[in-house]
Amino acid sequence: MKTLQRSLSILTLSLALGACAGQQTQTTVPVESTPPPVAPTPEPTPAPTPTPAPVVHAEAHLTNGHITLEHQIMFDTDAAHIQEGPSSAVLTDLAALMRENTQIRRVRIEGHTDTRGVAARNQTLSQQRAEAVAAYLRGHGFENIQFEAVGYGATQPLCRETTDACHERNRRVEFTITDPAPAPAAQ
């Protein structure tokens, strides 16, 4: 009898297993969860360095070997003393322009007067004013540039009228570059 019971149990178990074979069961197996690997963060690409805008000079301009001024350097009346207050913007811009143009090695500073007064006094005054501008520039960091001061007096007027405006135009300081450094060789 035991054998029969055993056979029946096996048969029942076999039938139960066969019935279950048609169904799929899902078993969950606990799996240790590991985070997905993290890709290394790339170094940020630095922003491109902006190209500096060209410096625009309001008072001094370099053109064809000459430095021209929008406004004149002012001097005390009948003297070679520079009025630094009224001439401040011109002198600052002139110095900045010369610092940017490192190829400049020699500059002729030319002093001019108007036609009023005695010719010999005008000649002396124009020379002294040119020398005063050269001394000012040397004193502001331009020891490496050779300045030649030349006074022309009233011999090279820009206009010949006897008006105040014409006299003012003729009283001036001009700058001629006489020795720029050679340009670098093209490669």
Indicate whether 149 belongs to any domain: yes
Q: What pLDDT does residue 9 have?
A: 53
Angle 83-139-158 (CA atoms, 0-180°, nearest 5)? 50
Residue 22 pLDDT greater than 60, yes or no:
no
Q: Residues 132, 107: contact at Cβ < 8 Å?
A: no
Give the model's pLDDT for residue 42: 77
Instruction: Say what the pTM is.
Output: 0.68
- Total domains in the fold of the chain: 1
Average pLDDT value for the chain: 83
144 domain residue, yes or no:
yes
Residue 128 to residue 51: CA distance in whole angstroms: 42
- Give a yes or no: residue 92 inside a domain: yes
pLDDT band at residue 184 under the 50/70/90 scheme: low
Indicate which CATH number applies to the domain containing 111.
Answer: 3.30.1330.60
CB 55 within 8 A of CB 91: no
CB atoms within 10 A of CB 58: 11
Pairwise CA distance, residues 76 & 98, whole Å: 25
Residue 113 pLDDT: 96
Tokens standing for residue 64: 């064809």
Residue 57 lies in a domain: no
Residue 156 belongs to what domain range?
68-180
pLDDT bucket at 61, cuts 50 / 70 / 90:
very high
Asked whether residue 13 is assigned to any structural domain, the reply reads no
**For residues 68-82, average pLDDT:** 95
Residue 161 located in a structural domain: yes
Whole-number pLDDT of residue 13:
46
- On the question of pLDDT at 25 being above 80, the answer is no
What does the alpha-carbon distance between residue 145 and residue 178 come to, in Å, rounded to a whole number? 11
Is residue 77 situated within a structural domain? yes
83-121 pLDDT, tens digit each: 999 999 999 999 999 999 999 999 999 999 999 999 999
What are the start-end ranges of the E strands in the chain? 60-63, 66-69, 104-112, 146-151, 172-180
Contact of 154 with 170, CB cutoff 8 Å: yes
- The mean per-residue pLDDT over the stretch 43-55 comes to 72
If you ran DSSP here, which 8-state letter would residue 78 be given? T
With respect to residue 44, please indicate whether it lies within any of the assigned structural domains. Answer: no
